[in-house]
Amino acid sequence: MSDLTDILAMTLDELKERLTELGEKPFRAAQIFEWLHKKRVGSFDEMTNISAALREKLKSEFSFEHIQPVRVLKSQKDGTEKILYALADGNHIETVLMSYEHGDSLCVSSQAGCRMGCRFCASTIAGFKRNLEPQEILGQLYETERVTGRKVSSIVLMGIGEPLDNFDNVVKFLKILSSPEGTNMSLRHVSLSTCGLVDRIYDLAELDLGLTLSISLHSPYNAKRSELMPINNRYKIEELMKACRDYFAKTGRRISFEYALIEGENDSPEDAKALVSILGGMPYHINIIPVNSIKERNYRSDRPAAQRFCALLTELGANATVRRTLGADINAACGQLRREYEGI
Task: Say if CB 132 and CB 111 are below 8 A apart.
Answer: yes
Q: Which of residues 194-223 bind ligand SAH (CB under 6 A)?
A: 194-195, 216
Nearest to 192 by CA among 154, 245, 234: 154
CB closer to ligand SAH, 62 vs 257 = 257
**How far apart (Å, rounded) are the C-alpha atoms in residues 320 and 313?**
7
Question: What's the distance, CA 247 to chain centroid?
Answer: 19
Write out the H or E segment, with its range, that includes residue 309.
helix 303-315
CB closer to ligand SAH, 139 vs 161 = 161
For position 265 contacting ligand SAH by CB under 6 A, the verdict is no
Catalytic center residues: 94, 334
Which part of the chain contacts ligand SAH (CB under 6 A), choosing from 26-34, 60-68, 290-298, 314-322?
290-298
Handedness of CA 163, 169, 170, 171 (dihedral sign): positive
Dihedral over alpha carbons 17, 135, 325, 334 (to 10 degrees): -130
CB closer to ligand SAH, 71 vs 300 = 300
For position 183 contacting ligand SAH by CB under 6 A, the verdict is no
**How far apart (Å, rounded) are the C-alpha atoms in residues 325 and 328?**
7
CB closer to ligand SAH, 97 vs 116 = 116
Q: Which amino acid is at 254?
A: R
Cβ of residue 126: shortest distance to ligand SAH, in angstroms?
Answer: 13
Residue from the set 112, 174, 198, 260 that interacts with ligand SAH by CB under 6 A: 260
**How far apart (Å, rounded) are the C-alpha atoms in residues 271 and 284?**
17
Q: Which of residues 11-40 bind ligand SAH (CB under 6 A)?
A: none
CB closer to ligand SAH, 151 vs 295 = 295
For position 8 contacting ligand SAH by CB under 6 A, the verdict is no
Task: Say if CB 71 and CB 83 are below 8 A apart.
Answer: yes
Residue from the set 213, 294, 318, 330 that interacts with ligand SAH by CB under 6 A: 294
- What are the strands, taking DSSP E only, across 132-270? 152-157, 190-194, 212-216, 255-261
Cβ of residue 288: shortest distance to ligand SAH, in angstroms?
Answer: 10
Residue from the set 19, 29, 121, 141 that interacts with ligand SAH by CB under 6 A: 121
Cβ of residue 156: shortest distance to ligand SAH, in angstroms?
Answer: 8
**How far apart (Å, rounded) are the C-alpha atoms in residues 314 and 301?**
19
Specify the 3-state DSSP secondary structure of 287.
Answer: strand
**How far apart (Å, rounded) are the C-alpha atoms in residues 50 and 97?**
34
For position 106 contacting ligand SAH by CB under 6 A, the verdict is no
CB closer to ligand SAH, 47 vs 333 = 333
**How far apart (Å, rounded) are the C-alpha atoms in residues 216 and 139?**
26
What is the DSSP secondary-structure string of 128-160? EEEEPPHHHHHHHHHHHHHHH---EEEEEE-SS
Residue from the set 58, 198, 244, 334 that interacts with ligand SAH by CB under 6 A: 334
Residue from the set 33, 35, 44, 120 that interacts with ligand SAH by CB under 6 A: 120
For position 251 contacting ligand SAH by CB under 6 A, the verdict is no
Total length of the chain: 344
Task: Say if CB 229 and CB 260 are below 8 A apart.
Answer: no
CB closer to ligand SAH, 146 vs 234 = 234
Residue from the set 131, 178, 232, 292 that interacts with ligand SAH by CB under 6 A: 292
Cβ of residue 193: shortest distance to ligand SAH, in angstroms?
Answer: 4
For position 337 contacting ligand SAH by CB under 6 A, the verdict is no
Which part of the chain contacts ligand SAH (CB under 6 A), choosing from 78-86, 116-124, 245-253, 306-314?
116-124
Question: What's the distance, CA 86 to chain centroid?
Answer: 17
Chain residues that interact with ligand SAH, rule: CB under 6 A: 116, 118, 120-121, 158, 162, 193-195, 216, 258, 260, 289, 291-292, 294, 333-334
